[in-house]
Every structure is written in C-alpha cells, then in structure tokens.
A and B are shown apart, each in its own frame.
Chain A
Amino acid sequence: MHRVVSRSALYEPSTEKDSCGVGFVAHIKGQRSRGIVEQALEVLLRMKHRAATGADPLTGDGAGILTQVPERFFAREGQRLGFTIPARGAFGVAQMFLPTDSFARSECERMLVEVVEQEGQRVIGWRDVPVDPSVLGHVARGVLPTMRQLFIARRRTVPSAFERKLFIIRKLAENRVRASGVDGDGRFHIASCSAETIIYKGLLLPASLPGFYADLRDPLFESAIAVVHSRFSTNTFPTWDLAQPFRFIAHNGEINTVQGNRNSMQARRTLLQSAKFGGGLERLAPIIVPGKSDSAQFDNMLELLVLGGRSLPNAMMLMIPEAWERNPQMDDARRAFYQYSSSLMEPWDGPAAITFTDGRLVGATLDRNGLRPARYVITEDDRVILASEAGVIDVPPAQVKRKGRLQPGRMFLVDTDEGRIVEDDEVKKEITTRWPYRKWLDRNVFTWDDVPAAPAPTALVAEDLARGQRAFGWTDEDLRIVVGPMAETGKEPTGSMGTDTPLAVLSDRAPSLFDYFHQLFAQVTNPPIDPIRESLVMSLAVGLGPDGNTFEETPEQCAKLTLPGPVLTNHQLARIKALAGKGDFDPRVLDATYEPGTAGALDRAVEDLCEAAVKAVDEGHDILIVSDRNVDARRAPIPALLGLSAVHQRLVRDGIRRHTGLVVETGEVREVHHVALLIGYGAAAVNPWLCFDSVKELVDRKELPVELEQAEKNLVHAFDEGLLKVMSKMGISTVQSYRGAQIFECVGLNRELIDRHFSGTPSRLQGIGLDDLDREVVQRHARGFVEEDVVVPFTGGQYQWRRRGELHKWNPGTIAALQHASRSNDSKTFAKYELLADNEADGLVTLRGLLEFDTSSPAIPIDQVEPAASLAKRFVTGAMSFGSISAEAHETLAIAMNRIGGRSNSGEGGEEPRRFTKDANGDFRRSAIKQVASARFGVTTEYLVNADELQIKVAQGAKPGEGGQLPGHKVDERIAKVRWSTPGVTLISPPPHHDIYSIEDLAQLIYDLQSVNRDARVSVKLVSEVGVGTIAAGVAKAGAGGVTISGFEGGTGASPLSSIKRAGLPWELGLAEAQQVLVQNGLRDRIRLQVDGGFRTSRDIVLAGLLGAEEFGVATAALIVEGCVMLRKCHLNTCSVGIATQDPKLRAQFTGDPQHVVNFFMLLAEGVRRHMAALGFRTFDQVVGRVDKLKAKSNVPHWKAAKLDLSPIFSLPNAPENAPRRCSTAQKKDVSDSLDHQLLDAAKRTLENGSPVTIALPVTNAHRAVGAMLSGEIIKKLGGQGLPDDTVRIKLQGAAGQSFGAFLVNGVTLELEGEANDYVGKGLSGGRIIVRPPTTSRFVPEENVIVGNTVLYGATAGEAYFAGVAGERFAVRNSGAKCVVEGVGDHACEYMTGGVVVVLGTTGRNFAAGMSGGTAYVFDRNRTFRERCNLEMVELESLVDESEIWLVYGLIENHLRFTGSAQARRILDNWEHLVGSFVKVMPTDYKRVLQARRAQLRPRPSPPRLRAVGGREG
C-alpha cells in the first residue's frame, strides 16, 4: 500500500538527502539520433553502483532520462492515435504522473485541459505511455502512478514565449489540483511540460528504465541531447516524482543552503517582477515548491530565472557563483558581475555537479568547492559524453579528441544550435560584459570609507557594567573562559571531555534562549569545509540594505553598504546610526526592551516590536537596528534571538523583508554560537555592545595583556573565525547564503512559538512558550537589578563544575564513587555510584532522566537472565587515539576490553604493530575496532586487516563537522612512527573525508574497506541531529554492517568550547530517530545499531536498548576508571594523572589497571541484568527496540520539564508489527563483483610460495578498488612487510573504477593502460601504481585528465606514476608515497605530511594548503606557480641540493620508464636547461624539524629539564 511520506515521531521528511550519478551524451552539431539515447542509457547502466536500492532489491531510488522532444516518434504516435502532431516547436508535451483512481485521474486531466484552454492553447490529444510494471519491485509497483502524455498545440503565442506559456500552464494546473484535494495521495506530477524536452523517469533501477518505458526503446525515439540520472537516496520512502532529471537539471550533490534560499525567495517575492510574466508572480506561487528535494527546488528557481529571461548559463552563474571573493587572478569584469549579482540572490551553496539543458544548450557546472566529480570525453565524431565517472562509454582510444574534468566553479557548455563547445571563458565573458557592472558597483555600493565617523556611546563601567552583564545572563565563565581569551588571542577557546550539563529546557539557571538551539552540521551527504586551509572559497562579506529585483539588471539594484564581516564594533554601529537623515540610507532603531513578569508581557512586547518594524519599513527605513540598549532596572531585554527572528519572519510574511537590512544591537551576545544564530535567523550584522564594553573593562583593569584596539580586533576576529567554522561545519561557504538558512535544531520549544517566530526550525519535543521565556528573562534581570552584590560575577559552571554553578553529571560525588567502586570491585559502592549518577530528582540534566521503565509485567529471577559475560560483548570503549591519550591509557583499555570480549576502538591515529600479537600472559593489546577517520593517520593495509570492525568516523560528538589538529610538540618519535609522519611536525585532520562528499562516496569507501578486510564489519559513526535517522538509513543502504549514533554529551577530544556545547543533540533523540527510520524502511535487520555519548550507568544502557540500541560505547566513564578526574585539560598536555598527555613524567603517574576497567564493565553488566530481571527480559535481544517498556515520568516537578512532550522518543515505528526491530545478521558489503577475485586466483601460488606472477586483464569502471582485496590477503598471510618489489605484476586495460589500487601493498605493481576514476591509490601501502594512456590514443597526455579526484589520499608508502593530469586534491594527506604526475587540479598536496610529489605540468589553486610535511617539486615553466600556491605553511625554494636533484631526476626517469611519457622524455632530454624550472615546495615546519634533526646528529649538552616534582616538602 501507498504510504504518505509525512512527519512521524522523530522523522522529519525535510531531512531526506539524495545523491547520485549524473551524465549526458550530446551531439555537438545537434544531430538527432538513436545512438545518443542508447548511449545515454548505457551511461546510466554503467553507473549503477552509484545508485541504491532499499529493503526491496528491485526498487531503485530512482532513475531517469531527459531528451529533446522526439517529434518523429510523436508524429507517428499521433497518427496511430488519430491526431496530427504539428511541426517541431509548435507543440509541447506534458509528461504526466496521474492518480490511479479513475475519478481522481479524470479530475486531474480535466483541470489540466481547463488550464490549457484558459491560457489560450489548444489540446491536441492524450496518449497513454506504454509501461511494463513487471520490471518494478513491489514497493515501486505499489505506488505506481498512471503515465499519460498530453499534447498541446501553440496558439497565438510567439515561439519564443511558448515555453513560458507551458510553464504557466504547469504551475497553474499543479496549484489547481492541489487546491481541489482530489489527489490525496500526492501522485499528480508533471514531470515535464515543454516543447523542447521530455523526461522519462521513475522509481526505477538504472537497468530497468528502458525496460519500463517502451518509448525509450523505439527506433524513432531520437535526440541530440540526453541527460541521465541515477539516484541514491538516504531512505526509501517511495516517491516517483523525486526521481531526476528535473525539467532543467540533473544534480549530483546537495544544496546545503536550500532552506535559506527558499526563505529568501519567499522574503523577496514582492520584489520579484518580470514583464515576461506580466508583472508579479503571485499567481504562480509557490515558486519553490515546499516538500520537494533540494534538487527539485533548485530546478524550480532555475526554471523561473530562465523563463524570466536570463540565459541558462547566466542563471547558473547567478545561482552557483564561482569563488570570486578571494581570487585575485579573476578578471575584474567577472568579479564585478558576481559582486553585483550577490545583491540579487545569495548563492545556492553545496556540493554540486549539475548538468543542465533547455533542449538546445546542454552543459554542466561544478560548485565553487568542486566537491563532485564530472569527467568528459569529446570524440572525433562530435559527441560529448559527460558523467560522474570516466569510462562509462567505451570510446576507442583513437576516437578520443579530448578528455577533461569539470573544475570548481567552471562551466562546460555545448551549444547544439551553433554546433560547438563554448569554453568557460567565452560564455562568462559574454555574460559579464553585458552591462558595466563595475561602474554600477562603484556608484551604488557603499563601504566604510563612505560612512562618516561618529562617536561610540559611552561604555558601561564598574557596577553598571556588572549589572548589565548579569541582567543579560552573563557569568564569570563568559568573561574568564570565553570573552577574555577571545579578546586576548583572537581565537575561540578550546576545551575537552564533552559536556554533561543539562539541556537548556531542563536547566534551572535561566539559560539564554540561544542555549535552546543546537547547531546542525554536515555528515555523509555533504561535506563540511575546512575554513582555514580552503579559505579561498569562504566569504564573510555582508551587504546591508534593501535587495534588488532578481529579474532586473539595473544600477540601483546593488545599492548596499558592504561590510567585510557581520560583527560590528560599537563605534561602527554608531556610524551606521549616524547615517539617518543624510540621504543614502535611512536606518531606524527599534527598542527591544520591555517590562517583564506579567502573563503575555513578552508576547505583547514582541508583537509591538514587529509592528514597529513593519511601520519603519513602510516609512522607508532601509536599515532596521533591533536594540536592547535601553535595558535598566525596570526594562529587561527581549531575548535577542527572539526579537530578531520575530521581526525577520514577520517582514517575510508581509513580503517586505527585502526592503530593509536587519542589524541587531544586543548585550546578550558573547559567544560565536550567538552570532551564528542571529545571522542564521536573518540578521545581516550584529553589534554585541556589552561584549565590547566588557572587553574595555578587562583591558582597563589590566586583566588582558593587550591594548584596547587590539583586543577589539581580536574579539571581532575570533567571532569571524568562529562563524566561518560554524558555517563550514554545514558545508556553507558564504555568510550571505548562511543568513536566514536556519541551520539549527531546538529542543523543547513549543510548536506555537516555533511556528510564529522560528518557523521552519525543527523542534521535535514540544515544550515551553513565550511566558516561560519571560519568566527566565525576569530571573536574569533580577541578577543584575535586584541582587545587591553584583561585583563578583554570577557563577556559570557550564564549562567547569562549580558548587554554585550549573549541574554536572560528572561531579566530585560521581567521579569519586565510580573510581572507588571500580577499584574495589564492590557492587555496593557501584550501586551507590549508579544512584548518584542516575539521580535527577534534585535537578534534571538529560532527557533520559525524564523517562522511566514500565515494570508492569512480572519480573523474573535474576538467574534466568543472560550472564554478564555475554552482555559484556555489547560494550565498546570510545574512539580515542593513541596520541590524544597516552600509550598506557590506550593499551589498558584494549587489554581490558579484550579480556571481557568487548571491543576497544583505536581512534584516529594508527596502532603500533607490536600490539597485533598477544602478550605472554594472553593479554591482547590490539584494538578490535580500527577507526578510519578523515586524516587516515596510520591507516595502512596492515592496520585494516588487524581488526574485527572498521569504523568510518563521519563525525564525533565533541566537534561534529570539524577537523582537528595535533600540535607538533605532542608528536613524539613513537606517535610519529605510528602515524607515518615526522616527529615535531603538526598534524592536521581535515573536516571532511575527502573521499566522502556524498552518500554514494560512502558506499564506495565501505566497498574499499570491505575489500581489504572481508571478515570485518564495516560501520559508520554519526552524531545525533535531526535527520540522522535518514542518514543511518542511507548508511544501511550503502552496505555498512553497523552504525553508531553519538550523542553530543560525549566526546573526549579537545575542541572549541562552542562545538562541545552547541553542536549535536542528545543520543536519545538520534537513537530513537535512527531506530524508527530503519524499522520503517525495513532496513533494521541488516545493521547493528550502536550508541554512545555520555553512557554512565546500567540504566542508561537498558534505556538505550529499549530505544533500539544493540551496542554501547563508553568512553568518559572508562577513562575515569583509569584515573581521569575531569581536569578537562586534555588539550594542554598537562594531564596530571597521565592519561591525556605524552609527557613522560606525567605518564609515569598513570595508575590505571585493566582489572579496574574489567571490574567496571562487569559491574555495569550486572546492573543491566538486574534491570532486565525487573523488566522480565531473559536476553538482551528481547530488550532491543521495546519502546513500549518506556514511559515518561509522571509528576515531574520541574516547571519547564513538565511541559516537555517526550512521546516522539518512545512512539512505535510506523511499520508493520512483524517488521524486524533489531539486527539479525550484520550485513557485509557485497564485493563479489571485485576484479580481485580473478587476481587472487591468478596469484594463488604467489601467496603460497612467493613466486612472481604477471597477470593481464581488461578492466571497466564497474571494477572498483582493484588490488585492495589482493593486498589485504597478502598482509593477512605474510604480515606487514608484504612481498618483495614487483612480485605480482598486474597489467590492465580500460577505464578502471573508483579507488583503483586502494591500499595496494609492497610487491604489487598495478599497471593500467587507459584511465582511472577518483581515489586512485587511496591509502597506498607500499605498492606501485602506473597509469598511462593507450598507445593508440591521439591526444596530448599532459593536457588531458587520466586520473580523477582525491588521488593518493592518505597514502603511507609506495609509488605512483600518472602520465596525464589528475583532478582536484591530488595527494591529499599523503604521508609517504612518491609519485609523478603531469598536472594537478586545485588543492593538491593538501594536508600532506610526508612523501614526494613531482608535478611535470600546471597545477590548480591552493596548492599545499595545510601541508606540514613531505616535499613537492613542481615544473613551473611559466613561473606562475607561486600565485597558485598557498604559502601559509610552505616555502618555495629552488632545486639546488645535489641529492635532491638526483631524487627528482630518478623519479622522472622512473616515470619515463614506466609510462613512456613524452613530457618526461622532454624534460630529461633537456635536464640541464630545465632543472631551473623546478620549484621545491617545502613545509616550514618540516624544514625546521629536519634541520633540528640534522643538528641533533652532533652531540650536544642535554637541555635543562624541569624540576622533578611529587616529592615531599622540606
């Protein structure tokens, strides 16, 4: 039966994500043929591994094709049906999905016909689309719509306006059907309605598309353009209409900012006017159809822009601008165009490869980050084939004219009318020089230079300041830990060990409204960005003032005040205020204070504020300043976020938002999270006035060692940098797109409040409203204006436990009791500990504290319950790397977990091979779970095969969406060795996995890992946030055998305080959502569900079990058992108990004992047994998913918590009774299609006796991770050293699939004649990879792409030679491989820590960003390399050192020998001349370390050491 996709329990439909494979085939000269269609279908088929299926293996997530309208075909069909089809262009076809119910269907049809006639067009006739439902899976068949086509003849409309007419018909028909309510199931959908193009798509597998639609097989079905798309959706709620292509585009990737984009369009709808549509667009609303996928909404916007008169490329440039802000090399006219356009529309930001066509032009473009792959081939016979992968159509080498890849921000365009490829430069030049944008900007854009000076208001001091701080909710920690350090250092403060304080809705300390909101972040379906190393794509520039009409291009559209960043000093805001009445801008201050404390007071105050805002806009004020400066003993501030969001949303609702800019002047803001929220809810700029006053006082009192001016600069800088980080966490590059994007989730605000003032924000647990917020305003206000002693700041206790501060789960009582109990192995003490840790009667902290077990069914005797030893297998310890914690602490956990049959987690940082063999006493120091994180430190083949589970860490609780950094001083010999880096050199972890930008990429990484270690379970770690269930479903579909949901509480790692506190959500929500979505999708039985993040007691475990978890991670508690006392100083290397430190003196203080850890877990298991007995469960399997055994505690005395509705957490999944609720067998990724099975066969004898072997085979793009399985087997069999060089030689021909040569080990040489896709040599562990073009090819290798993106990611050793150009992020995080390549894209050698890269050609931008080790040598013929290199961490030198010259020479010689490269030959032939053209890229850090090492070879006196301490005094 059909199930309507709607919000249920914790599932939010808007979180659906999809990603995919895209491609097109076109004839450049526009020749229509059958061949184009057939080849496009072939492309689709060849990318089937990028698509997915759900629980029903025959139901795909979606596939489709867009072609030109095949008029010959339709002419014949018309004849057959008895009507005449006019000539090309004189008719359009509506491709319809209709309800199956015959009444509903005929109603829909009738309405459509009605609209056609109203709009003055003529109906030609209907045609049933012949389909074959037998190829469908049962799920797809269950929701199959009726497919019909309506032919519409052009009437009294000029040909150029016909498309627009058809668009209007479609929109009006859609609106009419929606309004009529006949289509209750939502099946009515017009896939296309055009005279140019037609779309055939559906809930299909790529392979079944032509089988399903007979039309596509018809010999007369011809086209010169065919765009195809296969979909990989994170879930499997069946929807036919979300299959792609859409009317103009097919999209691979995700639009991160779609919510903001949609809101902005809503906000500017009254500004939108186009003569082409006859004025306003109101009758076509909604322009962007809500409830559809991000791609569909993108298509809606593009369609409107194109039909509104912009050319297709122009519209694409407007929507997906290049990174122009920080690109000095860009032509000024183009920069001016982008700058001008930014006042018409904010970028649609996200990883995107978009193919687009209007039936004449066909092209593709990449987002500014270039995060999706797209490769193309141009053939000698004028065909263009572009797809997510190379090799999707076999083109004989001799037929290849050119091979290339899409580059970040670049456009690839084929004009079939003109019959040629239009290069990026040409297209853009034409567009950017149409108007004198630079002149318009110069005349209309204001900067600070144009704003006269004005004095800032007098700063508050002493007691007045203290009152202000208290009334706005400031605490001592805000001054001491947050604002002070920001002003001193210009950076956000760092902390460690997670958070254990109450959710805002449970806190009794009147937390700020900001605290109710949690930051969301990218995981799996889109990558976070590194805002530091990839700053070239980031922008904080803000335009303040009214917006322009997106359809119009006139000078005054860009009249704005541009600010370099959104944080204003008191002085700057004063200057803006002083503009009033001077002409250009007319700002107006709105008072956001009120008299609190009576019922409805806050409600009225907010209403008044909104009214005042509307009035101000009506009066023509184009900058509104929402200000709480008027606070005094009587008047309290409206929470800044509430005031701002209410005004913003009200103006949006009234359709006047874009007539004005919004600035917030508030005393409440004191951390990055606050600024991010205000901008995320619509503010253009924020002036945290009290923050600046406070900094002034700190400086005046000499508490900060900096001058005031510098302190203010630092503060702004810290806010800016923090904001960039928050944005990039979500993968958003510009503050312009972040503004109003509302990328937050809140907990415990009621729907009425959300719908009125924070509309669109997920708040899954209903809770408090405006009057409750008012009560908290009163409490805060009283701190400042009722209490007398205000000099000592109000105690915070958020970041550090304080007796008078916020509650902490880890406090002196719980820590002491846990240590005592686990050391004495005393169950009574342990019970005391659990009592302390679970007790929330005196103060609520967690959601689970509000839940209780339903013990109404009879208990059973405890001896009938599964034994503790068996339960212990469900326990794992947290992922903490060797490096973040000491070897002693790390190994103690491993030994303990191995003793009890649980699993410890290596964390991200490798593992010393000595731990792979057991100790004499039988103890095993090996971590059963090996983590694969974004930096791939120490991820070698040997590491991977020595594991029972391989965990891909997509996010971590402490800092989801962020990378990390291990400072050089912590990287000692031992750590450097295991991480394959250099001691003393800083190690940077990138925020994203550079091989996971999208869900199908994750599937690929799972494939790679499963290939290396076929026995291991591959799992994926996610962090709780709204939509995590959807992602978990995607993970299950990607083939993982396990998924971990981490709560935001957990996390031991060092990270910015705002990330520890503000990002992520409780595991209760994430786990429950994951369970619900997995069960609903029928995916639950194939995947193990693990949970972690603040597990302390057996009650936590049983409760999580009832919510659906099968395994439980415990990190902090295990560390406490080892001796951790929550110093929260992990990031300082000063851990006094020897855990989170590498200082040998401190490590000597470590007293942890595996036995204590064993005691702890066994005591925990016994506790679990007691709960199980009380609940009547014999086995834990019976516990899993029994949400019916949970209920909300009744009579919660807490005034806020009492309003919280927790039922969504324990509501039953929307699925049949018998749907599996736990995992039966954890799935393994299917790697049966691997080419390695043949390789293993051929190398059988080699594995036995080491005899050399040569293997020759053809290869296609469907063969992925070639060599990985072979490598895993070699290491398993022979140990870490592998085989002698060249023992296994494999010669392949063709286009190899992704991850070619991944984890290839010593002794294996992979030689490919042809080309390869993304991720070549991923994790290369000693093998050799050679890729060269076929000997018969005619193109110039050094100008053509031969390998894809992200090559040699995380390689640790080995060699690679590529006779051609590589894509983006070449050798990213390489730590030991040596390679030669003939050209690279952007961001090459990013985060590299070791190895050698020789580039014999040109490079892209941002070369060597974050490169801390290794060397690169670039052949820089035209001396232009310097401007493309990121010089923050490297120096450029010339190649003079004799030994180095020989190293490079030798590598190029190898390159010539292995690939026959002409480029290599030319260079070697002219070596004397050309050696001077080589530039050496040398990381400064690395150089310093190498020099120090050389110096160390000379004996020298030992350095003075710190005095040993710890002895008795006297």
Chain B
Amino acid sequence: MGKTTGFLEWNREGAPKREKKERLHDAREFVLPLVPEQSKKQAGRCMDCGVPFCQQGCPLGNPIPDFNEHVWKGRWREAYLALTSTNNFPEFTGRLCPAPCEAACVLSVNQDPVTIEQIEKEISERAFAEGWVTPKVPTYRTGKTVAIVGSGPAGLAAAAQLNHAGHTITVYEKDETIGGLLRLGIPDFKLEKRVIDRRVKLLETEGVTFKTGVEPGKTITWNELKSTHDAVVLGIGARVGRELALPGRELNGVLQAMDYLETANRRVEKGGGLEGAATGKRVVVLGGGDTGSDCLGTALREGATSVSQIELMPVPPNARSSGNPWPQWPLIFRTSSSQEEGGLRSFGFMTKKLIGDGGALVAIEGVEVTLEDGKLVEHPQSTRRIEVDLLILALGFTGPETSTLSTQLGLELDGRGNVKVDSTFATNVPGVFAAGDAMRGASLIVWAISDGREAARTVDTFLMGQPSLLPTRGRDTPFGGR
C-alpha cells in the first residue's frame, strides 16, 4: 500500500514538461522525468484499495497497487517485476496510454487520481537505466513456429509472449521498419523512436525474427504463410481511415491523418527537419480525437500559419454527467498536450462542403450542430466558411485492410468489418488468430498489448494441447464506459 494518509498529505503532481515555446521547435519528447522523491510521494498517494478499480480500468490488468507500494517503499526493482508481469512494454504505455486506470482510480471519485501512468514510465525508464531489462531467452524451444503479421503493439506483445513460451517466432511487417502504428502513427514528441528500437533489439536477442517489407497477401500468399507455420497471429491493425464523403474530397490539400502523420514521422526519423506539408499553411484538422491532436501538434511543429481543430460533436461537459458516473471513462472536456501548445478548437461544427479553386482546396463550409435527444440537429442559419490550405481528416478508422485475407483465406469478418474471432482470439480459419485493432477496431495501445498477450496464451494452448502457463490479464468485471 502507499502511505495510509498519503492522499491526505500530498496533491497530485504530474511530471514536468518542457516549455511550450521550446518544445515546438523540435520533435523530441517533452514530458520530463519526475525526481524520484516526487515519484515516491505520488505513489504514496495510492490508497491500496480493497477493490482497486484501477486494475479493472486497465485493459492489461496491471497490478497497480502493488507497484505503487513498491515505489513508495523505494523498491524499484520489485516494482519493475510487478509491472512487467502484465505488461511487456511499459515504456510505451507509460508514454502513450490515455490512462483509463486513472479515470477509475478511487481517488478520482472526489479528488485527483494517482499519477499511475507517470509512475509506470518512471519504473520502466529506471529499469532500463539500472540494467534490469535484460533479454529473457527461453530455456528450451518447442519446435513450433508462429507467424505474427504486423509489428504494432499487438503483434509485438504476442511475439514476446509466444517466444517466451518457447515457440519460434517470425514477425512479418509490410513496412521497412518495425513498430507499426507506434512508429508511423505516433509523433516523436510523444514517443521517440529510439524507445521502439531499444525494445526491438531486446526481442531480437530473445530470438524473435523480424522480416520487414513482407506483406502477406501481396508479397507472399496467406496460404504460403500459413502452411509454413504452425500458427498465424494477425496483428494488422485497423488503419483504414474514415472518409469524408463530400464533394471536393479529391481536391489537393485534403489529406488523411495517417498519410500526413506517416510522412511526417518518416521525415523526422530520417533527420529531415521540421518542415513538412503544413509549413506556412492554414491548417484545419477535422476530428477532435487523439489522432487529430497528433496532427495538430505536428502541424504546429511544421510551422503552420494557423491550425484549427474541428470536432463534429458539441462541447462535452466539464464534469461527469449523471449518466456517465465514476468509474466509467469520463466523457468530459479535455485538453491534450498538443491542444495546450496552440491552435484553435471548435465544436459542434458539421462540414458540408469543400470548396476548391483550381483543384486546390481553399475553404470548407459547414453548419453548427447541437445534440438533441441523442441526435445531431443542424442549424442552417449558422452556415460558416473557413479558409483553409490543408485539411487533415482525422475522423477515426473503419477497420483493418482485409481484402486479401477474405479472398485467399476465406477469413470471416464481423459486422463492423473487423476480423471475427471467438473468445480465444481464433478466427474461423484453424490456426489463424487475431489480436488488437485487427479484431477490435481502432483502440488503445493497452488493448493491443493486452490482446496480444491473451492471444498468445490461447495460441500456446492450441500449439501444445494443454493449458498455457503464460500469464493472463485476469477476470473482467467491466463497469461500462470506453
């Protein structure tokens, strides 16, 4: 447990961040480490609840009270062991997770929750610094081979776990680099790519083989892949972006968020400086979500003359509504780190028209909408035109790219276009499993890792014909919400 009266003595203090002015001039991470004493106090705020809702809030089922206790007592190594008992990549989640655990923290019933995510990051960075993170090479090999398709968090987690169980793993990545969405979708200011490299190197040492530039269904057939492995795990993500079905979509200056971000990320990785598609432009980002925010932050760094982020839905409330009680994910007004860096935000605006001039986008036009009885109502008299040079569509994702899977393997999809799996992550094709966004639809990195780990268990069971000894995230007792 933390300190019995810790939460009465200390307030929540987040990690320091680099000054806005400074951080906008490079692509590096801006969240700074906490001083260890501060981490201990923050962990000491943990109430060691009889029912730690945080652990249910966390899709990975991280043993949060346990590592808080270790940190409070200064037992960092034990904290690291506890944390990695459920989480292969705390260095990713400690940076990128929206922390549903904190939303469910019992302290957040009436005060500020424990800074769980930051503590997680501190633990994992300390573990790397102290040299506690060493490759865990399995002591024996089962002789079974598994193909993991996709090297995003789901694929990597499944690879790590199955490798640990002694199977021989090959990860296939269609891109030239490993990391999937982590590398191509997440800007460096949130996750510097060295963090991914560090992890991939460890996995390689542990015996995982990575094959980049291989796209099953195209460079090889799915059946080829399947026949050369005892099992296949699909971790192909859900990267098909939602389209804006409006006239003018074809104009120059309209980009899908992933295209925009990918380009920017590749450039940064190659040391290509800050200039990019948004430099010197009036930029509008459609979509108020996390991807939209990433676009916003990237555009600001690229030196856009103005950036605004437009959300279709009206402004959410500042506090929880009665229909959205704790410990559910709070549907409230939030400000992301990119949003605090600059740009304009507007809500309740429905884009109706893209206006071009000579094949290039010059403006968008739309109306204000409000939410009435759960339905969006347009207010035509409020029609507004916004001048814009670059429109970035961050409207969410519709699902995985599955065309070759269907045609070559006869893989079934669910109603939303995701890979259909049963409770053991098995698809309708024997020996083929799916994890993460591919079967779930676009979601959080913690879900991806969690699914990857759980799928690994069932794959292990499938391969060995007896209950897997790999750990599980545990029982789910959901309380609704996100």
Contacts and interface: CB of A to CB of B under 8 A. Distances in A.
Interface of A: 476, 480, 496-497, 703, 786-789, 791-792, 795, 799-805, 807-808, 810-817, 819-820, 823-824, 836, 842-843, 1123, 1125-1129, 1132, 1134, 1136-1137, 1145-1146, 1149, 1151, 1506-1507, 1509-1513
Interface in B133-148: 139
B47 to A, nearest CB: 6
Interface stretch (B20-28, B402-410, B470-478): B470-478
Interface in B447-481: 469, 471-480
A813 B81 contact: no
Contacts of A800: 48-52, 65
B276 to A, nearest CB: 32
Nearest to B61: A803
A805 B66 CA distance: 13
A812 B472 contact: no
A389 B56 CA distance: 62
B51 A813 contact: no
Given A802-B474, A1134-B5, A815 B50 contact: no
Contacts of A1126: 49-51
B11 A813 contact: no
B323 interface: yes
Given A788-B469, A803-B474, A812 B81 contact: no
B325 A823 contact: yes
A366 B65 CA distance: 53
B61 A804 contact: yes
B55 A1511 contact: no
A496 B49 CA distance: 12
Given A1509-B8, A1510-B110, A1513-B13, A1125 B49 contact: yes
A1511 B11 CA distance: 8
Contact of B85 (A703, A789, A810): A789
Contacts of B343: none
Nearest to A811: B477
Contacts of A788: 139, 469
A836 to B, nearest CB: 7
A1126 B51 CA distance: 6
B104 interface: yes
A1128 B50 contact: yes
B66 A1149 contact: no
Contacts of A703: 73, 75
Interface string B347-377: 0000000000000000000000000000000
Nearest to A1507: B9
Given A1136-B107, A1507-B9, A1513-B112, 6 more contacts: A799-B50, A803-B476, A812-B478, A816-B480, A1134-B5, A1507-B11
Contacts of A786: 469
B38 interface: no
A1423 B251 CA distance: 108
10 contacts: A703-B73, A787-B469, A795-B63, A813-B479, A836-B477, A1126-B51, A1127-B51, A1136-B110, A1506-B5, A1506-B8
A816 B85 contact: no
B237 interface: no
B111 A813 contact: no
A1123 B327 CA distance: 12
A1125 B11 contact: no
Interface string B2-38: 0011011111111000000000000000000000000
Contact of A1149 (B110, B112, B478): B110
A476 B85 CA distance: 13
Chain A interface mostly? loop
B47 A802 contact: no
B106 to A, nearest CB: 5
A799 B52 CA distance: 12
A476 B50 CA distance: 15
Given A802-B55, A803-B474, A1128-B50, A824 B61 contact: no
B346 interface: no
* 10 interchain residue pairs of minimum CB distance: A1128-B50, A803-B474, A813-B477, A816-B479, A804-B474, A812-B56, A803-B61, A1510-B111, A1126-B51, A811-B477
B475 A803 contact: yes
Contacts of A799: 50
A1129 B82 contact: no
B344 interface: no
B11 A820 contact: no
A1136 B7 CA distance: 9
A814 B477 contact: yes
Chain B interface mostly? loop
A815 B475 contact: no
Interface of B: 4-5, 7-14, 47-53, 55-57, 61, 63, 65-66, 69, 73, 75, 81-82, 85, 104, 106-107, 109-112, 139, 322-323, 325-328, 469, 471-480
A623 to B, nearest CB: 41
Contacts of B73: 703
A812 B51 contact: yes
B85 A792 contact: yes
A1129 B3 CA distance: 12
Contacts of A1132: 4
B66 A476 contact: yes
Contacts of B69: 480
A853 to B, nearest CB: 25
A924 B406 CA distance: 68
Contact of B51 (A476, A815, A819, A1151): A815
B106 A816 contact: no
A803 B112 contact: no
Contacts of A791: 81
Given A791-B81, A813-B479, A816-B327, A1125 B53 contact: yes
Highest count of chain A CB atoms <10 Å: which of B4, B8, B109: B8
A1145 B47 contact: no
A812 B104 contact: yes
A820 B322 CA distance: 9
A1378 B49 CA distance: 46
A1129 B110 contact: no
B258 to A, nearest CB: 33
A497 B50 contact: yes
Highest count of chain A CB atoms <10 Å: which of B7, B73, B109: B109
Contacts of A787: 469
B263 to A, nearest CB: 35
A1127 B50 contact: yes
Contacts of B474: 802-805
Given A816-B479, A824-B322, A824-B323, A1134 B47 contact: yes
Nearest to A1513: B12
Nearest to A1132: B4
A820 B325 contact: yes
A823 B322 contact: yes
Given A812-B477, A1509-B11, A1136 B55 contact: no
Highest count of chain A CB atoms <10 Å: which of B13, B48, B75, B104: B48
A1512 B9 CA distance: 14
Highest count of chain B CB atoms <10 Å: which of A703, A1125, A1507: A1125
B81 A1512 contact: no
B51 A801 contact: yes
B477 A804 contact: no
Given A801-B51, A812-B327, A812-B477, A1513 B110 contact: no
A1151 B325 CA distance: 13
A1134 B479 contact: no
Contacts of B469: 786-788
Contacts of A1134: 4-5, 7-8, 47
Given A789-B85, A1136-B107, A813 B9 contact: no
A804 B66 contact: no
Contacts of B52: 800-802
A1512 B112 contact: yes
